[in-house]
Structure 1
């Protein structure tokens, strides 16, 4: 039977989501613990890859397994979270149709990038610290050019392996939070390295080294060499993965899950 598993993780110690030879990854640890708890080989497939050092507040993976009727969902979650490292937590597990796919059935994904403007010894692993506030108005003007169906070749890694670089961006913008800023971007899909390159170039706008119109020109030119460097991985979170309600009913998700799952 197929199941969807909802989880979050601190990516600081991991070389990304996807299994790699002789390397610690989130997927490797999840598969190891699922196999241990269920006493059968289990292999998961995530909604998308996160790079080395990137976090997830809400990631979704599917896996196939025979779970005995005697193992209720609460006990399964308890045993999984006991087995997993403390920086990986599972929120919910629920059955889905056999052909459901965590990657291809996702309708939208949201990433958030966290910036701190106040020194804080407790957040360096989870936010980029800036000692000077960037121009929020200019950055939001530039971010507005990302909306709609756009080709993101300019903001993709050279060897991303994608068949095309067109994404439909539904939301992109910065907002102030106590002590810092958060950039949120929501789209139907993301190409490899896209969010960190977008953030890095928007911060260049915020420092006054690019105008919003020059940012738009970089996007329109579809040239990777024009974009600024990528923002550091530590501030980036995969924050929400959305599915059709018939696939992931709201009642399947516990009230204690992070706010962005049920918004």
Structure 2
């Protein structure tokens, strides 16, 4: 007897240090693998999850949404389900919410906005290992923020994309990009409708070159127009990067 399915979104967060990114892959441990295994144990049926996007090895997520389909005869009690799922998951993966959605809702394709942060610090700090990137020299935040204004808008950002990725377009719409000083260092904030593979880390590396006066702020405009990855800066390490927010038109994603 076939059972109908109910689609749910899960809001999750994770420390990516121990994982080879979000997506299931052969011969490597991923966040998606651990989540699917825990869901299988609780729901006692094979479960496949679809995430809002992929994060690379070592990248963290403060908020990521995934969707899954659950047979209606196995729909869980929310409170008990969250407690059981978090108990089964490793300490570095957490599930905050389970949200019933329409059957055609899609965690990846329906996301209208994604936000990232990149964290850097300036002095040796054992508590920031795998959580922030230590810089030797202090970059000029004014120059970096001047350069970041050239990122705003809808443009071809192929110059910041990892080579040979299979995407239908390199066009993205960036709505926010700026550096913020904190008591411990600097944080780069960026929001867009979509991101290319490795895009944020390449942007950060390029802006840091400008902040260290290796390039002029307006050079970023020429780099974008070139569509040439070799013109942009080096990709910074993954461990300073955090996916912080994913927005959908039909659910409250505030935290």
**Normalized against structure 1, the TM-score is what?**
0.92
- Retained in 2: the 8 A contact 1:2–1:63? yes
Cα distance 1:228–1:135, how it changes in 2: closer, same or farther (>3 A)?
A: same
| Aligned residue in 1 for 2:36 | 31
What does 1:97-108 correspond to in 2, within 5 Å? 97-108=102-113
* Alignment partner of 2:95 out of 79, 82, 90: 90
Q: 1:132 Cα deviation (Å)?
A: 2.1
User: For structure 2, which runs of at least 5 residues remain unmatched after alignment?
Assistant: 1-5
Give SS of 2:203's match. Answer: helix
**Counterpart Cα distance in 2 of 1:71 and 1:11:** 27
Give SS of 1:212's match. Answer: coil
* Structure 1 residues 126-185: Cα deviation after superposition (integer angstroms, max 9, x where no partner): 101113211000000111100000110100010221111000000001001111111010
Q: 1:119 Cα deviation (Å)?
A: 2.5
- Retained in 1: the 8 A contact 2:43–2:74? no
- Retained in 1: the 8 A contact 2:7–2:101? yes
Give SS of 2:159's match. Answer: helix
User: For structure 1, which runs of at least 5 residues remain unmatched after alignment?
Assistant: 251-260
**Match status 1:160 vs 2:165:** yes
Which segments of structure 1 move beyond 6 Å, counting only runs of 4 or more?
none
* Alignment partner of 1:111 out of 91, 111, 116: 116
* Alignment partner of 1:223 out of 196, 203, 228: 228
- Retained in 2: the 8 A contact 1:38–1:67? no
**Counterpart Cα distance in 2 of 1:87 and 1:108:** 25
Q: 1:68 Cα deviation (Å)?
A: 4.9
Aligned length: 250
**Normalized against structure 2, the TM-score is what?**
0.95
**Counterpart Cα distance in 2 of 1:70 and 1:139:** 49
Q: 1:69 Cα deviation (Å)?
A: 7.2
Cα distance 1:39–1:207, how it changes in 2: closer, same or farther (>3 A)?
A: same
**Counterpart Cα distance in 2 of 1:234 and 1:69:** 38
CA RMSD after TM alignment? 1.3
Q: 1:107 Cα deviation (Å)?
A: 0.7
**Match status 1:262 vs 2:241:** no
| Aligned residue in 2 for 1:41 | 46
**Counterpart Cα distance in 2 of 1:189 and 1:173:** 17
**Counterpart Cα distance in 2 of 1:17 and 1:150:** 27
Q: 1:191 Cα deviation (Å)?
A: 0.8
**Match status 1:191 vs 2:183:** no
